Amino acid sequence: MIAVRLLRLVAVGTASVGGLSGVAYGLLNGQSRHARRVIGLSTDDPLCADGTYFPAGRPLAEPAEAPVDFAVLGDSSAAGLGVEMASELPGVRLATGLAEELERPIRLRTHAIVGSTSRSLTPQTEAVLREPPRLALVLIGANDVTSRLPVRTSAQLLEEAVRAMTGAGTAVVVGTCPDLGAIRPIPQPLRSLAGRYSLRLAGEQRRAVERVGGHAVPLADLLSPEFLTRPVELFGPDRFHPSAAGYEMATDMLLPKLCDAIGAWEGAPVPTPPRRSAAVEARRPTRRFVARLNLRWGRRTDT
């Protein structure tokens, strides 16, 4: 779904870096079409394994406390697109981990839909709030970048969804927008533009979530170094969505914050992410890079 929208990202990138020459703009157009061909389209629906998960070793017939309701909202990353077994779904991994940490049953309900943007959070949130859960996870943002949804609008929509859920007594954790600059099938310099825009969105999402009492996990800062150095292992066959190992790494980052959000984390202290994103800082030369790109391609057309 994101791959279909890569062509639109060219216009976003042009606006965000102050404009490109016609030659460089044409280069980005060609690169976006190439990325679409390489990534392709997913025709498979993600697996679904909603239900109640129990701590290991507890007999199902044994009397237990009432399950803790856990909802998952968002896009394909929340839905777990690309895994081959239900046990590999991020929602299932987290429900299982929560059951172990809380020593209580967890009732998982997945509302995430492949292709969702932050505009899709309103109906998902409405569905969640019919029976407000104790805990909710939101993973959203990549489709906002590629569909040209303005950063401010995207962050505002997320803020409204989190406010509605926290107001109903739900503890909300948000995994902020991943770093699209780690997607190898997107060639340079389009990948740099995508990365810069996604990191800007992640920062705005974090501020919006924290304003209304939610808890943000900066997935780009936490995961990008690993995905950049271990792409074969952590990306799935389409080289775009995570593999089972990639989803596992993400859920390992999310589980402590989910437990902490309801006061149930007893492991090592949950680290407080830096206010300035290391991933954003690493991309500050982008504007200078685009200027060099214009100069380089301008010279080539003159010869």
The more confident residue out of 101 and 266 is 101
Of 279, 277, 158, whose CA–CA distance to 211 is shortest?
158
Calpha distance 236→226 (Å, rounded): 14
| Catalytic residue from among 21, 238, 252, 260 | 238
Calpha distance 280→93 (Å, rounded): 29
- Domains of the chain in start order, with CATH, are 3-302 (3.40.50.1110)
Q: Is beta strand 106-110 parallel, antiparallel or unpaired with respect to 171-175? A: unpaired
Predicted confidence (pLDDT) at residue 25 exceeds the cutoff of 50: no
pLDDT of residue 257: 95
What is the per-residue DSSP string for 73-107?
A: EESHHHHTTT-SSGGGSHHHHHHHHHHHHHTS-EE
Calpha distance 248→237 (Å, rounded): 16
pLDDT of residue 1: 46
| Catalytic residue from among 32, 42, 76, 277 | 76
Tokens at residue 227, please?
């995905």
Cis peptide before 237 (omega within 30 of 0): no
Tokens at residue 31, please?
């690169």
Phi–psi pair at 210, nearest 5 degrees: -70, -25
What is the per-residue DSSP string for 177-238?
A: PP-GGG-TTS-TTHHHHHHHHHHHHHHHHHHHHHHTT-EEE-HHHHHHHHHHH-HHHHB-TT
* pLDDT (average), residues 55-75: 80
Q: How confident is the model at residue 284 (pLDDT cuts 50, 70, 90)?
A: very low
Phi–psi pair at 94, nearest 5 degrees: -70, -40
Q: Is residue 116 flagged as an active site residue?
A: no
3-state secondary structure of 139: strand
Q: Is residue 32 flagged as an active site residue?
A: no
Written as one letter, the residue type at 176 is T
> Which residues, 6 or more positions from 93, have their beta carbon under 8 angstroms from its beta carbon?
87, 247, 248, 251
Per residue in 66-80, pLDDT (tens digit) is 899 999 999 999 999
* pLDDT (average), residues 267-288: 53
Per residue in 158-205, pLDDT (tens digit) is 999 999 999 999 999 999 999 888 877 777 777 788 888 899 999 999
Cα distances from 239 to residues 25, 95, 98, 117, 147, in angstroms, run 25, 26, 29, 21, 20
Calpha distance 295→106 (Å, rounded): 57
pLDDT of residue 182: 80
Q: How confident is the model at residue 37 (pLDDT cuts 50, 70, 90)?
A: very low
Q: Is residue 76 flagged as an active site residue?
A: yes
Per residue in 110-144, pLDDT (tens digit) is 999 998 999 999 999 999 999 999 999 999 998 88
| Catalytic residue from among 50, 111, 241, 243 | 241
Contact 89, 112 (CB under 8 A): no
